[in-house]
């Protein structure tokens, strides 16, 4: 009898749940997820959170999924269900706030999930922050921190770009400006818009708010689509005027790119615009801000993805100023294999700085050293040519490895991580010395010539050769996953290869972060490549190093096991 009653009750609850979901997916799109109002002081908020039903279920959900062998332990992951883009990264009243597209189990439309951290490494779950209605789903956007409040600007599907405000200590309560889209997705007159309405970014200049709206325009060669980000201006956050396309002189992005998830901010004495292309992945433009014309003049660019975003690639960026002239950016990473009950992870936060006018530096951000334990150190030794050296005391699938190598005349340096003893599975990290592009050839006009290389002009005119400044081609850093997994459902990603410019004689400094199913590699504070991998064997935890062609010198190597940030 009790079983029958339980079955009937479960059936009734299921019918009610399905009914609420069906109603939630119609205007005004009210969420089926429990929503709470929080106090305005920190002590009161902390007291409320102790018994908050959402946080209690997050704790149980994390415990349930902790045994998954591919679930990282020191990269941020949603506490329940899957997730997508990071959003609205900001620093407010002593905490870093990370928002992200979350998919609650009782209403799988995107809400903004929420976590906080003192050090960008140890994350603490908070309840869902921004819920749908009047929008169908809460898509990507950014935040602007003012003295007394935080402004979130994001895309609300089916309605347009939205603005929400919060000013409480933990940013738990959000109020939507006007209660509707401040930049509607459709014209009120039915005419076509001269811009698209998508992932917005917001900043302030001369007591006016400015916002970008992402998209692309069919003004490329032959009418093909190219990246576009449209500029708006407002006095009050509620009423916005369209100005024009924002970026000038973009010769860097590809035909077919779009400008999703833009983030525009000063970096050093210049400006950066991070964005995401659904075709070719995360990238950035460097340049100068013409504040009179409200135009961004792009002078340099680079990529965070070196291939397609899926499978296993870096996805959308979210960024915030670090308070020291740099920018902190975090990405999510796409899966390369199905995982039960969860999907996608966040990368480690990266600190972006200017190394020179046109060169961006990338290094890990946050207190990573607090995760280290059980250090293994290896001192100086020669790496003989063409011989793989297995370092038996370096093992694990949640590691940081930091090494300095003098490549000398070796063609390449190869690290194998997540390596099984007989090499059935391994992931290759390869440094190709000076195998990338060089600086190109300088041309100038000469007497009787249209355009010739400078030395050819001197040859024809009898001038002596000009003294040469040695130019070093770019080196390349690669992660290669062809043999990372023997599992039949693990997808292989094409090699992820990025350029890195080193000075003559500069040694290689690699920081490698391994966390169950993710590998991230930072090179000399100048470049980073990252990839998801899925070694199926329990013994795929080894490490080896190799110099190819000629010998190299290992200056030092340190490896640490890494703590679980959820314990």
For CA atoms 286, 288, 294, 295, give the dihedral sign.
negative
Q: Does residue 325 carry a pLDDT above 50?
A: yes
pLDDT computed for residue 8 by the predictor: 46
Residues 92-109 have a mean pLDDT of: 97
Distance separating alpha carbons of residues 395 and 511, to the nearest angstrom: 16
Task: Compute CA distances 462 → 430, 443, 454, 458, whole Å.
Answer: 46, 17, 12, 6
The band of 11, judged by pLDDT with boundaries at 50, 70 and 90, is very low
Predicted confidence (pLDDT) at residue 404 exceeds the cutoff of 50: yes
Residue 330 bridge partners (DSSP): 318
* Top CATH class, 368-437+474-562: mainly beta
**Alpha-carbon torsion, ordered 20, 182, 332, 174, to 10 deg:** -60
Looking at residue 455, its pLDDT comes to: 56
In this prediction, residues 5-13 reach a mean pLDDT of: 42
pLDDT-derived band at 5, boundaries 50, 70, 90: very low
pLDDT in tens, 121-147: 999 999 999 999 999 999 999 999 999
Q: In this model, does residue 3 exceed pLDDT 60?
A: no
The pair of structure tokens assigned to 342 is: 């969860």
Q: Using 50, 70 and 90 to split pLDDT, how confident is the model at 291?
A: very high
Residues 518-563: tens digit of each pLDDT: 999 999 999 999 999 999 999 999 999 999 999 999 999 999 999 9
Instruction: Kindly report whether the global pTM for this prediction surpasses the value 0.95.
Output: no
490/509 Cα distance (integer angstroms): 30
Residue-wise pLDDT tens digits, 236-268:
999 999 999 999 999 999 999 999 999 999 999
pLDDT band at 451 (very low <50, low <70, confident <90, very high): low
Neighbours of 12 (CB within 10 A): 10
Average confidence (pLDDT) over 308-319: 96
Starting at the edge strand that comes first in sequence, how are the strands of the sheet with 475-480 ordered?
A: 389-390, 542-548, 412-419, 427-432, 475-480, 496-500
Q: What is the pLDDT of residue 453?
A: 57
Q: What is the pLDDT of residue 202?
A: 98
Task: Compute φ and ψ for 50, nearest 5 degrees.
Answer: -60, -30
Structure tokens given for 546: 């190799």
Per domain, the residue ranges of the chain are 31-64+105-110+119-311, 368-437+474-562, 439-472
Give mean pLDDT, residues 354-378.
97
Distances (CA, A) of 146 to 1, 117, 118: 61, 19, 19
Average pLDDT, the chain: 93
- In CATH, what class is 31-64+105-110+119-311? mainly beta
pLDDT digits (tens, 9 = 90+) for 25-78: 899 999 999 999 999 999 999 999 999 999 999 999 999 999 999 999 999 999
């Amino acid at each position: 009898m009790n079983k029958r009653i339980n079955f009937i009750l479960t059936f009734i609850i299921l019918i009610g749940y399905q009914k609420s979901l069906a109603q939630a997916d119609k205007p005004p799109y009210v969420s089926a997820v429990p929503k709470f109002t929080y106090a305005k002081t920190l002590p009161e908020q902390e007291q409320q959170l102790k018994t908050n039903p959402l946080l209690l279920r997050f704790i149980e959900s994390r415990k349930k999924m902790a045994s998954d062998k591919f679930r990282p332990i020191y990269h941020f992951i949603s506490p329940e269900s899957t997730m997508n883009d990071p959003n609205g990264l900001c620093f407010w009243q002593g905490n870093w706030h990370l928002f992200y597209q979350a998919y609650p189990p009782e209403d799988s439309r995107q809400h903004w999930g929420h976590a906080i951290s003192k050090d960008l490494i140890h994350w603490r779950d908070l309840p869902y922050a921004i819920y749908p209605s009047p929008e169908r789903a809460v898509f990507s956007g950014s935040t602007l921190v003012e003295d007394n409040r935080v402004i979130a600007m994001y895309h609300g599907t089916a309605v347009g770009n939205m603005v929400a405000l919060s000013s409480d200590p933990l940013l738990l309560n959000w109020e939507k400006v006007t209660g509707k889209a401040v930049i509607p997705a459709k014209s009120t007159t039915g005419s076509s818009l001269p811009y698209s309405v998508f992932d917005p970014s917001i900043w302030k200049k001369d007591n006016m708010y400015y916002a970008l709206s992402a998209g692309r325009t069919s003004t490329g060669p032959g009418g093909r689509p190219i990246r576009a980000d449209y500029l708006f201006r407002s006095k009050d956050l509620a009423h916005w005027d369209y100005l024009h396309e924002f970026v000038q002189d973009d010769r860097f992005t590809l035909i077919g790119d779009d400008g999703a998830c833009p983030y525009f901010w000063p970096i050093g004495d210049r400006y950066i615009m991070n964005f995401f292309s659904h075709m070719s992945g995360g990238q950035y433009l460097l340049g100068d801000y013409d504040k009179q014309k409200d135009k961004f003049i792009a002078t340099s660019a680079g990529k965070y993805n070196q291939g397609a975003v899926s499978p296993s690639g870096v996805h959308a960026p979210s960024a915030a100023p670090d308070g020291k002239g740099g920018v902190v950016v975090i990405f999510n990473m796409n899966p390369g294999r199905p995982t039960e009950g969860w999907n996608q992870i966040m990368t480690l936060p990266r600190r972006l700085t200017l190394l020179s006018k046109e060169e961006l530096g990338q290094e890990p951000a946050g207190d990573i050293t607090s995760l280290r334990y059980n250090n293994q150190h290896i001192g100086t030794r020669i790496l003989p040519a063409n011989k793989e050296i297995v370092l038996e005391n370096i093992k694990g699938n949640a590691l940081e490895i930091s090494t300095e190598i003098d490549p000398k005349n070796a063609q390449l340096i190869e690290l194998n991580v997540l390596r099984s003893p007989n090499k059935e599975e391994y992931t290759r990290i390869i440094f190709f010395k000076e195998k990338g592009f060089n600086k190109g050839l300088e041309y100038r006009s000469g007497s009787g010539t249209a355009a010739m290389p400078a030395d050819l002009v001197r040859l024809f005119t009898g001038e002596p050769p000009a003294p040469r400044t040695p130019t070093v081609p770019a080196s390349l850093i690669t992660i290669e996953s062809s043999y990372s997994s023997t599992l039949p459902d693990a997808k292989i990603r094409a090699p992820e290869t990025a350029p890195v410019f080193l000075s003559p004689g500069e040694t290689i400094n690699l920081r490698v972060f391994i966390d169950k199913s993710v590998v991230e590699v930072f090179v000399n504070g100048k470049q980073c490549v990252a990839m998801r991998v899925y070694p199926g064997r329990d013994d795929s935890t080894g490490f080896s190093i190799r110099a190819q062609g000629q010998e190299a010198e290992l200056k030092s190597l340190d490896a640490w096991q890494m703590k679980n940030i959820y314990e």
